Amino acid sequence: MSKKFDMELFLAGVLTGSHATRQRHLRQAKIIQTEIADRWLLKTPWAWQRKHVTWFLEHQTAKHSEATRYYYLLTLRLLARRLEKIGR
């Protein structure tokens, strides 16, 4: 039996800013996780590769405004920072 991946716990170490900002990052990180999991069956950020993140930015955010795409990029940078901390 495997537990569901907890994005909030994963990002807890790098999540900063106001409550609204933290909530936006969590919401967007869960959306990113869901979209990549649906497309490639990769449940956790450790399994993602650059092509998965690029696909998300190019295809899944194409219908959004430029500002929204920027916020998704910030969330992805936060995820990358978290993965760097784990790798050390």
- 11 in a structural domain: no
| Residue of 85 and 20 predicted with greater confidence | 20
Note the pLDDT of residue 80: 96
User: What does the pLDDT read at residue 2?
Assistant: 63
Find the helix packing angle between 66-87 and 19-40, rounded to 10°: 80
Longest CA–CA span in the chain (Å) reads: 41
pLDDT band at 39 (very low <50, low <70, confident <90, very high): very high
Give a yes or no: residue 66 inside a domain: yes
pLDDT at 3 over 80: no
Domain extent, residue 54, equals: 18-87
Please report whether residue 51 resides in a domain.
yes
Residue 54 token pair: 């690029």
Is there a domain that residue 1 lies in?
no
Domain count of the fold of the chain: 1
Is the residue at 41 inside a domain?
A: yes
User: What is the rounded average pLDDT of the residues 59-88?
Assistant: 93
